[in-house]
Amino acid sequence: MVRWEPGASDRLRKAALELYAARGFEQTTAAEIAASVGLTERTFFRHFADKREVIFNGAAEFEGGFIEGVRDAPESESVLEVVSAALAMAARFFPDERREFSRLRQTIIDDNASLREREQLKMTTLATGIAEALRDRGVTEPHASLAAQSGVTVFTVSFHQWIAEGETRPLGEIEADIMGELRSLTRAPLPNRGDSSR
């Protein structure tokens, strides 16, 4: 597995993101990325299966953080507490020094339909994985799926806030806020629906 550490892999990734952002993802070749940091196309393909992989090869680690968070959370009366622990664990994957990288990565994804689709699938896979880990802890359906999806929702909304221009709070703090907002939203009373059933 390619690790997040200085070296060819990181240089390639950095160069790739800059080229994707400047020229567009489709318009950039693996050979150009490699050449821009004095490496060969062959070296590129030793580190990444393809151009898309540069953007998504942290996905397993990212998902692993969440799953570990679910597994290691203390016994609790609330399934959302377990999800909150997983969110806190996942936030460690995004230290402040990664914010600029994440911002650039997001603009590249936003610009390309196929990358957006891939990113969405990643989030669905994450939700499926969290739901499975919750079921392993004895949480039944539909609670496992609802809690897992809600966790992904809180993560997604928080992550977009984290990379917003001018935002300086750490991701974990934003997640805790957004989880509170979700709880207050769903705690509001649901009025009698008689007048909207026509």
CB-nearer residue toward a second copy: 42 or 173: 173
DSSP SS3 for 28: coil
CB-nearer residue toward a second copy: 41 or 177: 177
Taking the complex as a whole, how short is the minimal distance between the CB of residue 189 and a second copy, in angstroms? 6
**Among candidate residues 79, 58, 61, the one with its CA nearest the CA of residue 150:** 79
Name the residue type at position 2: V
Say if residues 73 and 81 touch (Cβ distance below 8 Å).
Answer: yes
Question: Residue 34, interface with a second copy (CB under 8 A)?
Answer: no
Question: Residue 59, interface with a second copy (CB under 8 A)?
Answer: no
Q: Dig out the tokens for 125 from the structure.
A: 């896979």
Binding-site string for a second copy from residue 96 to residue 115, where x marks contact by CB under 8 A and - marks none: -----------------xx-
CB-nearer residue toward a second copy: 5 or 75: 75
CB-nearer residue toward a second copy: 3 or 193: 193
**In the range 113-152, which residues lie near a second copy by CB under 8 A?**
113-114, 116-118, 120-121, 123-124, 142-143, 145-147, 149-150
Please work out the total of residues on this chain that contact a second copy, with binding judged by CB under 8 A: 48
Q: Choose the binding region for a second copy from 33-41, 45-53, 91-99, 178-186 (rule: CB under 8 A).
A: 178-186
State the Cα torsion 154-155-156-162 to the nearest 10°: 110
Burial string for 92-115 (b: 16+ CB within 10 Å, else e) reads ebbeeeebeeeebbeebbeebeeb
Q: Dig out the tokens for 31 from the structure.
A: 């050979």
Question: Residue 191, interface with a second copy (CB under 8 A)?
Answer: yes
Say if residues 70 and 130 touch (Cβ distance below 8 Å).
Answer: yes
The span from the CA of 142 to the CA of 7, in Å, is 45
Residues at the interface with a second copy (CB under 8 A)? 73-74, 76-81, 84-85, 88, 113-114, 116-118, 120-121, 123-124, 142-143, 145-147, 149-150, 153-154, 156-157, 161, 178-179, 181-183, 185-191, 193, 195-197
